[in-house]
Amino acid sequence: MVKRFFRNYSLASLAIIFLAAVAIFMAYRSIVIRGIALLAESSSVTTTRIALHPIRHHLADFLEEANRPRPKAQPIPLPAELEDAIAEVMRDSRVVRLKIYNEKGIVAFSTQSSQTGDDMASNPGFLAAMDGKTSVKLIYRDHFNAFDESTESDNLVQTYLPVRRRSSGSILGVFETYTDVNALVAQTEHSEILIAIVTALVLGITYAALLMFVARANRVIDDQQRTIREKSSLLEQLSHRNLAREEMDRKRLATDLHEGLAQTLGAVKLLLEKSGAGPQGDVGKAPQSIIPLLQNAIGQTREIAMDLSPPGLDDLGLGPTLRGLQREFQRANASPHVDLQIAVQESDIPGSLNIVLYRVVEAVLKLLGDQAGVRSAQIRLAREGDAIVLLGRDDARALVTAMENEVKHESGASPASRIRERVIISGGNPGVHIDAAGEVWLRFSWQL
């Protein structure tokens, strides 16, 4: 599921980034084309006006002659002064072609002689110029327009200017120039390619970073799902073990009651019956022999009650009950010496966690008592941030070794296994902690 999501997300992100790159490039290209058009058209109008100014009178004379009626096939000779002026304009500027229209739209002169005599009366540029307006048109085409059909006017600015003898006189004809902007287009095309490369590089780096982030998130999700599966499996195993252990505890309790307390009470009953049936001299001796049996029964009853639920936990609290448990351990075991440190307020500990902490400490003490070679040990109960932490260590590292072996072998029957299971079932996390001094502690923590 997660892998399919990662694959689909990667493909969708790649498609979106590609579309974004195309959109950025097209927007940039559109802006550039508009800029080129404005710059080229403005420059072309200026160039055409500069070219027209010194030849205005010669051009007016030529157009007056061209406007007179004459046979269609008869060309009008271009005056030498005007021909020299036109040649100079085309030599010293970017003007590559030039046309002169008479007032009827007939091409009276063109640098391409084949176009002389063509009727261009319907040409929008010519019509606008005859109305006294300056008309400019750019036909833009670069390599990115490779699918468009090329024409002879590509990257040429067509400028139409009305020709008058005087600024307030009537329009005699139209002067048209074709200005070459190929150099500007080539420079723009180079910029477009550079922008496309930079955009692709930036978006590629962004996509790579995005993939790395998503891949890391994917690994985290995989780890969390694996942890959830492992915990679910572990909890299932612990549930089965607890059911079996609960049945075993009931059998053990039944056995203790039947073989211990019941046998003791049965013996007391027999003694009392004998004392009642015997001579009067035996009556005083019966109670003396019954007292040890009753004391043993009381002790067994207390042990069973303590095993079921420590009575001091509700009356005295967790701290005093744990210290009482430590004293009982030290009375029963000369070694190891256990240093119990409680550095947490009981009000900070949830009530449901008291019995868990008691049972864990009880199991840790039992584990210490079963280990040979341990001379001293420490048990510390504290609060760290939003967690209750129980730490344990000994000079032989027996606690940590027992827990590590339990994790490796998962025996499920050892005291270390019972400690680990109880911690996990109660919502805690078992582990190993190394403090600043390099000491290795067995560490159990519960989030508040």
Predicted confidence (pLDDT) per residue in 226-274, tens digit: 888 877 777 777 666 665 666 676 677 667 666 676 677 777 777 666 6
Q: Is pLDDT larger for residue 415 or for residue 419?
A: 419
Residue from 24, 1, 27, 26 nearest 206 by CA:
24
Separation between Cα atoms, residue 60 and residue 64, nearest integer Å: 6
Q: Cβ(381)–Cβ(342) under 8 Å?
A: yes
pLDDT of 16 reads: 84
Q: Domain residue spans in the chain?
A: 2-180, 315-447
**Which of 225-229, 409-413, 444-448 holds the top average pLDDT?**
444-448
User: CA-to-CA distance for 442 and 448, rounded, in angstroms?
Assistant: 20
Tell me if residue 37 falls in helix, strand or coil.
Answer: helix
Same fold, 2-180 and 315-447: no
Give the residues across from 173 on adjacent strands.
102, 163
Highest-scoring range by mean pLDDT, 140-154, 293-307, 354-368:
354-368
Q: What is the pTM of this model?
A: 0.45
Confidence of residue 93 (pLDDT cuts 50, 70, 90): confident
Q: What is the average per-residue pLDDT within 63-91?
A: 78
**b or e along 356-374 (b: 16 or more beta carbons within 10 Å of the residue's beta carbon)?**
bbbbbbbbbbebbeebeeb
- At residue 380 the predicted structure's pLDDT band, cuts being 50, 70 and 90, is very high
For residues 259 and 88, which has the higher predicted lDDT (pLDDT)? 88
CA–CA separation, 90 and 95 (whole Å): 5
* H or E stretch covering 98: strand 95-102
Return the CATH superfamily for domain 315-447: Histidine kinase-like ATPase, C-terminal domain (3.30.565.10)
What whole-number distance in Å separates Cα of residue 250 and Cα of residue 259? Answer: 14
pLDDT tens by residue, 155-205: 788 888 888 888 778 888 998 888 887 777 777 778 878 888 888 888 888
- Does residue 379 register a pLDDT over 90? yes
Cα–Cα distance measured from residue 63 to residue 74, given in angstroms and rounded to the nearest whole number: 15
Query: If pLDDT is split at 50, 70 and 90, which confidence band does 80 have?
Result: confident
CATH of 2-180, one of 3.40.50.10420, 1.25.40.10, 3.30.450.20, 3.40.640.10: 3.30.450.20
pLDDT of residue 218 exceeding 60: yes
